[in-house]
Chains A and B, each alone.
Chain A
Amino acid sequence: MNDNVLIKVDGLKKHYNDGAVKALDGINCDIKSGEVVVIIGPSGSGKSTFLRSLNLLETPTEGSIVFDGVNITDPKTNINLHRRKMGMVFQHFNLFPHMTILRNMTLAPTKLLKISKADAEKKALELLKVVGLEDRATAYPSQLSGGQKQRVAIVRALCMEPEVMLFDEPTSALDPEMVGEVLDVMKNLAQNGMTMICVSHEMGFAKEVATRVIFMDGGTIIEEGTPIEIFENPKSDRLKSFLSKVL
């Protein structure tokens, strides 16, 4: 772990309907490489919007995001180049249903990074092995369980060798007995030093793996700190009342 700031968010705002709805209302946040940041908060607090703004799936109304020293909110920046270095995992997996698992994983590396098909497949199979799915390489997404799909979605993003992984409620759409297998993969990833930003309702995961927990409400960061600070000694009333409901 080092002190390099990987993502620097400055005054980020996202307004809808000419400012009538403030999904994000001035977010300032530095993410250092190697950090595992878990964002918690009630629904509608803007945590997903914040995460999706980081790779510009949501276009911020105001503010800047500097990733790897480049201001990606500048319209002149080619965001496609920077998204390659930011893996994203969605709540609903979003695997490509018309492709095999292997093709899902090799599409971007072969088309965008111009890696040869053989090399891309070799790497994909190695990653599948890590998540215990090497025997499903030729299957189609519809043949997999939810937990398996999400593990594939994670390694699909890893195939691009990202510098940071963004997780948007990765376990919310899963049956309870499948949550564990996905969290295990994420823990493994965190222990290997991957920078991760994760919107999650899994407080256990946050306590165990996070290096920092951010509590958001009403489009702003209310409180942030280590898991112990957040869960054992919450300062703000809003965090206290949120924790009393979820724990």
Chain B
Amino acid sequence: MFEAFQAWFLEMKEEFILNFVTKNRWEYLTDGLLKTLQITFFAVIIGIILGFIVAVICSTYAKTGKLKFLNFLCDIYLALIRGTPMVVQLMIMYFIVFLPLGVDKTVTAVLAFGINSGAYVAEIVRGGIMAVDEGQMEAGRSLGFGYVPTMFFIVIPQAFKAVLPALANEFIVLMKETSVCSFIGLNDLTRGGDIIRGVTYSDFMPLIAVAAIYLVLVMILSYFVKLLERRLRNSER
């Protein structure tokens, strides 16, 4: 019994050394991790900006009937993004739109994921804006604020607080979704594991390592979201 365990342990140790230590193969994972974080970070920024703009346009149209044309464009955007798979969007962006223009793969991925995320952020934020009491807009307007400043100072901060958990969830999903980057040959974390598998012909260690790294990332993100949520909630007590 003990000898069997010892043999298994030795085998694992060898596997570990082969997959990560030999020829500094762990660098595939760290380089990939960096790339994944980089793409996620910039995609989140684009997603937030795009999502809030679209959400404001849609909710303005829903409440006042203004911005009809912009709302129409937003509807098309939402339908296209939410109606097609992320991988397909990424490949269209790369092979059809940006490759002929000679745009860098990372930039392409950031744009593709940002534009994709924007659609989901827009839906979340729109719900948040619609849920803020109409009286808040009226109070802001009655003090002399215009529509846009009232949105900015009064409505959106309240909407943001209400949808923060949903938003954070969306970004966690986004981070995991960047694992499809390898479809355009981008060396992200998932691809790093694949490269190691390709040279060592072992599956267990690289895949488990990749999964573990994603898991830790998600747990760290979730922790910070909880902290932020608690801080926002305290401000109302």
Contacts and interface: CB of A to CB of B under 8 A. Distances in A.
The reply to whether chain A is a binding partner of chain B is yes
Given A94-B133, A96-B154, A143-B237, A111 B145 contact: yes
A120 to B, nearest CB: 13
Given A94-B136, A97-B158, A88 B236 contact: no
A90 B144 contact: no
A157 interface: yes
A157 B139 CA distance: 9
B138 A160 contact: no
> Which of B133, B144, B236 has the most chain A CB atoms closer than 10 A to its own CB?
B144
B153 A83 contact: no
A50 to B, nearest CB: 15
> Which of B143, B154, B158, B161 has the most chain A CB atoms closer than 10 A to its own CB?
B143
Interface string A69-90: 0000000000011011011101
Contacts of A160: 143-144
A107 B143 CA distance: 10
A98 B157 contact: yes
B142 interface: yes
Interface in B133-152: 133, 135-136, 138-146, 149
A92 B143 CA distance: 16
Contacts of A94: 133, 135-136, 138-139
A82 to B, nearest CB: 8
A57 B237 contact: no
A163 B153 CA distance: 25
Contacts of B135: 90, 92, 94
State which size class the interface on B falls in.
20 to 34
B142 A57 contact: yes
Nearest to B234: A140
A64 interface: no
A108 interface: yes
Interface in A90-130: 90, 92, 94-98, 107-108, 111-112
B158 A112 contact: no
B235 interface: yes
State which size class the interface on A falls in.
20 to 34
B142 A86 contact: yes
A55 interface: yes
Nearest to A82: B144
A155 to B, nearest CB: 13
A107 B144 contact: no
B222 to A, nearest CB: 24
A98 B158 contact: yes
Contacts of B133: 92, 94
A225 B127 CA distance: 48
B236 A97 contact: yes
A113 to B, nearest CB: 9
A112 B161 contact: no
B139 A111 contact: no
B71 to A, nearest CB: 21
A220 to B, nearest CB: 25
B141 A83 contact: yes
A83 B144 contact: yes
B138 A57 contact: yes
A100 to B, nearest CB: 9
A142 interface: yes
A157 B140 CA distance: 11
A84 B153 CA distance: 16
A97 B135 CA distance: 12
A96 B143 contact: no
A157 B138 CA distance: 13
A112 B143 contact: yes
A132 B145 CA distance: 28
Nearest to A84: B144
B139 A90 contact: yes
A142 B158 contact: no
Given A94-B135, A142-B236, 10 more contacts: A88-B139, A90-B142, A92-B135, A97-B236, A98-B235, A98-B236, A107-B143, A107-B153, A112-B144, A142-B237
Closest 9 CB pairs of A and B: A84-B144, A94-B139, A88-B142, A94-B135, A108-B143, A83-B144, A80-B146, A112-B144, A98-B157
18 contacts: A57-B138, A57-B141, A80-B141, A88-B142, A94-B133, A94-B135, A96-B140, A98-B158, A98-B161, A98-B236, A111-B145, A111-B153, A140-B235, A142-B237, A143-B237, A157-B142, A157-B143, A160-B143
